[in-house]
Amino acid sequence: MNKTPVDIDQEAILLFHDLAEQRDNYVHNDEKAGFTVSSEFRHRFFSLLDMLNLRLIDDRDNFFGYFLFQADRDLRFQLDSPTGTTFKNGRYTLYFNPYLFLQLTAEQMESAVKHEVLHILSLHPLRTKDLKKRFSPLAVDLAMDIVVNTYLAPLPSDAVTLAVVNLQYGLSMPLFESLEYYAEEIQCALNKRPKTDAFTDMKSGEAFFSERFNIEHSHDIWEESDDIDEKTLVEFTKKAVDGARKSKPNAYLASLMAALDRAVSDRPWYEYLKKVVRTVTANYKKTTTRRNRRQPERLDLRGELRNKKAAVTIALDISGSIGDTEFRQAMEQVLQIVKTSDHDLTIIECDNEIRRIYHIEDLTDLQERFPKRGGTAFAPVIEYCNAHKPDILLFFTDGKGEEKLPVPPKGYPILWLLTGKDGILSLKKPYGKIKKLQSAEPQDAPFDFDAVEKGGFSMANQERTRDLSEYIRG
């Protein structure tokens, strides 16, 4: 371990001089084609990355090494930072600008790799999409780097840190605030300054070759990533993170991983229902009774009406542990989701058989619960739904029923909402999604959380942020 840093530093110096010579020859010869390096240089550079990778894997926080090991790697001389990241074809690619990267020490190279991984783990490429609608790219880029660089050392001399930004803009922002907080504070400062400042004055080199760090364009490469939905990106990110977990991470990494886990697995049950209802009611049918909205003067064109109601069947296991208040709150959520759509809500009260079926339009239609009788059986409700074909079945139960359904559900999704302490469904094959029922306010906005404290370098606290599930829309 003691030998590796020397080897990397020495090889980096030799590679940098080789690269500078190749660049000078390119400029001197006034080449018209894009700049490329020799195959020998590429081989030596990626060999150096392999040495760095082994060094990271041997580190106490080996998560970063294993993450780099499973990611693709490539060169990008136009990068305005030593490293950059894209997400394509279900994989992350880490790009390196050798001209900037090779000027770093081995320890700074490690920090550069960790810098990219922390951006990914914090879902910054996703979170900044909305932020850049409210704040300038410079404010957002500075805020992002403040957040991740707080946990890294050593850093290059031109790295963006909280101390540097506070000094540059006359601010007194504290440590461990959220990305959103920093972006807003910096934007307020930017609005009070002349358009030109120390950060925006930085100029890159020629188009084919960036020779200087430029914070304002350091994350532009994210725009090259595949245009996929937020949920898919988070799931792929979690998969990459899971593949890199080989030992117990420090507390800060553990808190980020836990937040990512929640973003994938703990999407509120009502978000799933919302998605189903939206899908069902999105279809239209042609009608001659309504004029075309875009061309109302054209009487020969048919208008459109929503094609069908959202048929939602709600099974309530009256032998289970769900209380009246808890069930009523869940119904508030359901009614809020379907209130803007044409819908049909059916309540089935059941234990070992169906005891009562009725329809509701609002909370006043909820009836006093049928008296509890037998145990729990899921099959009667499934058989009913197979005959009536709802768009979705919500089954409120403590989960203690059969292990196997005699007849599987046909043509509709099931959302099992488990109550009680155990939260385990007895079915070996559930034929649907399983969620633990949690109380929630009847509104779309998710609740905030403050993640746990962490240890390690400068980790007495951490970024205050909302649950990452906020950044996933169904």
Amino acid 266: pLDDT: 59
Amino acid 310: pLDDT: 86
Q: Does 385 reside within a domain?
A: yes
pLDDT band at 467; cut points 50, 70, 90: low
Q: Note whether 262 and 303 are same-domain residues.
A: no
Q: Note whether 241 and 286 are same-domain residues.
A: no
- Per the structure, the complete domain to which residue 391 belongs is given by 269-436
Q: Note whether 30 and 131 are same-domain residues.
A: yes
Amino acid 459: pLDDT: 36
Please name the residue that has the structure tokens 């240089």.
Answer: 41
**Which of 231, 266, 301 is the C-terminal boundary of a domain?**
266
Q: Note whether 62 and 179 are same-domain residues.
A: yes
| Rounded average pLDDT over 86-102 | 94
Q: Does 455 reside within a domain?
A: no
The winner for highest mean pLDDT among 150-154, 325-329, 423-427 is 150-154
Q: Note whether 100 and 229 are same-domain residues.
A: yes
Q: Does 217 reside within a domain?
A: yes
Q: Note whether 255 and 293 are same-domain residues.
A: no
Q: Note whether 146 and 280 are same-domain residues.
A: no
Q: What is the pLDDT of residues 142-180, one digit of tens each?
A: 999 999 999 999 999 999 999 999 999 999 999 989 899
91 pairs with which residues across the strands?
Answer: 88
Q: Does 450 reside within a domain?
A: no
Q: How many domains does the chain have?
A: 2
Q: Note whether 48 and 65 are same-domain residues.
A: yes
Taking the C-alpha atoms of residue 397 and residue 378, their distance in angstroms, rounded to an integer, is: 9
Q: Does 468 reside within a domain?
A: no
Q: Does 473 reside within a domain?
A: no
Amino acid 10: pLDDT: 95
Taking the C-alpha atoms of residue 184 and residue 191, their distance in angstroms, rounded to an integer, is: 11
Q: Note whether 200 and 336 are same-domain residues.
A: no
Q: Note whether 261 and 299 are same-domain residues.
A: no
Q: Is the CA virtual torsion 18, 74, 139, 167 positive or negative?
A: negative
Please name the residue that has the structure tokens 């400068």.
Answer: 458
Q: Does 123 reside within a domain?
A: yes
- For residue 401, which of 418, 421, 387, 383 has the smallest C-alpha distance? 418
pLDDT band at 202; cut points 50, 70, 90: very low
Q: Does 457 reside within a domain?
A: no
Q: Note whether 84 and 221 are same-domain residues.
A: yes
Q: Note whether 240 and 304 are same-domain residues.
A: no
pLDDT band at 281; cut points 50, 70, 90: low
What share of the chain in percent tops pLDDT 70? 79
Q: What is the pLDDT of residues 17-47, one digit of tens each?
A: 999 999 988 888 866 667 889 999 999 999 9
Q: List the CATH number of the domain containing 316.
A: 3.40.50
Q: Using an 8 Å Cβ cutoff, are 316 and 349 in contact? A: yes
